[in-house]
Every structure is written in C-alpha cells, then in structure tokens.
C-alpha cells in the first residue's frame, strides 16, 4: 500500500480535463494516483482502488452529472468519507445539483477550476488547498494504512504500533482538536489496541524479570542458610539477610503490585528494607 499526495476520482467522460489537471499537478511535484483504465469491476481492481484512496493525503473529485451517476465514483467518494480524507470537490462544468447525495461534497466549498484564462489562478488556489496541513494529512494517511492492514489481518497484534511510533501517535492524538481530518474510528481502535498490546508486552517483560529475581534470591537463600547453616551464628544469619532480602522483596512486590510498573516493585523493596532496618537495629538487640 503506497502513500500518494492526491487521489483523483472522476468520470471517464471527463478524462480530457482530468489529464490536463493531472499533468499540471505532476509538474508541481505532486504524486497523483489516477485510474486511467476503463475496466469492469473486479475484487482485485477494487482492492487496488481502496488502498489508493486510503494512502492518499487528499481526495479530489471532479464533479459532473456523469460523476454522480457512476457507481464507481460514488463508491470511491464513500471510501474517502469513511477514511476522513481531505475531500476537494472540483467544479469545472455545470451539473444537476439534485444528483449529489454526499454530505461531504455538499458541505465543502467547491473549487471552480475551468479551462481558459482563469485556470492558472484557480490552479494556484488548488495547490494552496492541497499543501495546507500536508504533514498532518500524510501522517493521517500513514496511520489509516496501518490501521487498515491491521484490520485486514484480523486485528493481529504483530501489526500494532510500538515504541516511538506509538508515542508519536499518542502525542498527535492529544493535539488533534484543531486538525483536519480527525482520526477515524478505525484509527482510534487501532491506537487503543496498540496501547493495550504495549502494556501487555511490558507486563510480560517485567514478569520474566521478576521471576528471574525471585529465582536468584532463592538460590542465595539456599547457599547462605543450607550450605553454611551449621557454621553460622544467628546474628550472622540475620546480617546475611541484607544479601537476599532486597531481591526477594523486589520480586514478590513486582509479581503482586508491580505487574505493569517497576516503580511499585522498588517501593515494596524500599519499604521492606526500611522495616528490616528497624527490626535489625531496634528489635534484634533486645531479643
């Protein structure tokens, strides 16, 4: 699935105008995806169209009677609406307004782009529109592509966001209020699934670390108290508790209250060692 700057949706009857528009956009160093093939519907072809719409930062639709009469054009427009794409309706010839059943087209300012003397000025307005918030729209398209792939793979956790990628998305999610387009439901679900997957990964990693600490502490206890048990005094055994008690309390604290945050395990260890220090310095001398 490739990222592009623009997807152009049009009726084949308007091909000549679209070819002129595409050439001008490409000359402006914009990456344009446009389907020139007049072929019948097939699942592979429609999958390619769907991926192209998903990967485009902007969706330009060339309005005409034939556009709204075309099942394919209406389906492409619906895909763009569902993906919260920046939809830019281009008006270059008159058409019957009653044919339009798209809320996105109805509520969006149409860009008058007619061939002739005013084409250059209108085209500059189109470029300004396309370049507005381009970084955000490219980010939005990348995230939509990854979310779509995750959904297509049955919500497979191996397709989750991790590390810096997840951190960047979370930061952008927190500051999306003044951005357009907004995150889609699919994107939000994908981010939440990725966050849950990251938490589960941390939990598994910490659990392995805690079990290793517990095993090491048990080995220390065995060596100290069972190997040299007969040769050690009670005071010496208490002193040796400073060796194994930190690891043991850290491991047990982690397996109980620190499953998601190691800081809690350190708190348990610190409290345990503080209590032991009080016992060793105050209680033990009185026994």
For residue 105, give the CATH number of its domain: 3.40.50.10140
Are 127 and 205 found together in one domain?
no
Name the domain boundary from 132, 150, 172: 132
115 and 11 inside one domain? yes
In a domain, 154, yes or no: no
**What pLDDT was estimated at residue 272?**
92
Q: Which residue range forms the structural domain that includes residue 48? A: 1-132
Residue 166 within any structural domain of the chain: no
The beta strands (E) that lie in the chain are given as 4-9, 32-34, 56-63, 86-91, 111-112
Residue finishing a domain among 116, 132, 148: 132
For residues 109 and 212, membership in a common domain is answered with: no
Distance (Å, rounded) from C-alpha 260 to C-alpha 203?
5
Q: What is the pLDDT of residue 229?
A: 62
Domains in the chain, number: 2
What pLDDT does residue 193 have? 92
CA distances, 207 to each of 8, 175, 224, 253 (Å):
51, 34, 26, 11
Q: Examine residue 236 and state whether it is found in any structural domain, yes or no.
A: yes
Residues in the chain, total = 287
Strand partners of residue 43: none
Residue 66 in domain = yes
Q: Considering the domain boundaries, does residue 210 fall inside one? A: yes
Residue 31 is assigned to a structural domain of this protein: yes
> How far apart, in Å, are the Cα atoms of 28 and each of 16, 124, 260?
19, 10, 50
Asked whether residue 273 is assigned to any structural domain, the reply reads yes
Strand order in the sheet with 4-9: 32-34, 4-9, 56-63, 86-91, 111-112
pLDDT at 160: 92
Residues 123 and 26 grouped into a single domain: yes
So what's the pLDDT on residue 115?
64
**Same domain as 100, residue 205:** no
Domain boundary (132, 147, 163) is at: 132
Q: What is the pLDDT of residues 225-269, one digit of tens each?
A: 776 666 667 777 788 888 888 999 999 998 888 887 888 999 999
- The parts of the chain modelled with pLDDT lower than 70 are 1, 37-43, 115-117, 177, 227-232, 287
């Amino acid at each position: 699935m490739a990222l592009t700057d623009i997807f152009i949706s049009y009726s084949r009857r308007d091909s000549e105008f679209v070819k002129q528009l595409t050439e001008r956009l490409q000359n402006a160093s914009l990456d344009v995806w446009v389907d020139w093939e007049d072929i019948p519907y097939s699942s592979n072809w429609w999958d390619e169209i769907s991926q192209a719409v998903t990967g485009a930062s902007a969706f330009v639709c060339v309005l005409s009677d034939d556009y709204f009469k075309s099942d394919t054009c209406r389906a492409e427009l619906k895909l763009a609406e569902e993906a919260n794409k920046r939809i830019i309706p281009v008006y270059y010839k008159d058409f019957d307004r009653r044919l339009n059943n798209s809320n996105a087209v109805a509520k969006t300012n149409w860009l008058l782009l007619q061939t002739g003397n005013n084409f250059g000025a209108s085209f500059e307005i189109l470029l300004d529109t396309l370049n507005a918030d381009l970084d955000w729209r490219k980010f939005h398209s990348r995230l939509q592509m990854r979310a779509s792939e995750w959904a297509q793979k049955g919500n497979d956790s191996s397709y989750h966001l991790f590390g810096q990628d997840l951190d960047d998305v979370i930061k952008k999610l927190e500051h999306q209020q003044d951005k357009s387009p907004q995150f889609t439901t699919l994107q939000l679900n994908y981010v939440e699934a990725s966050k849950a997957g990251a938490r589960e990964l941390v939990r598994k990693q910490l659990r392995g670390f805690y079990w290793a600490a517990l095993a090491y502490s048990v080995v220390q206890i065995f060596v100290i108290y069972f190997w040299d048990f007969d040769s050690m005094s009670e005071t010496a055994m208490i002193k040796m508790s400073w060796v194994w008690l930190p690891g043991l309390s850290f491991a047990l604290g982690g397996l109980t209250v620190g499953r998601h945050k190691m800081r809690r395990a350190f708190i348990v260890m610190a409290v345990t060692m503080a209590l032991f220090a009080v016992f060793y310095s105050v209680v033990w001398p009185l026994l």
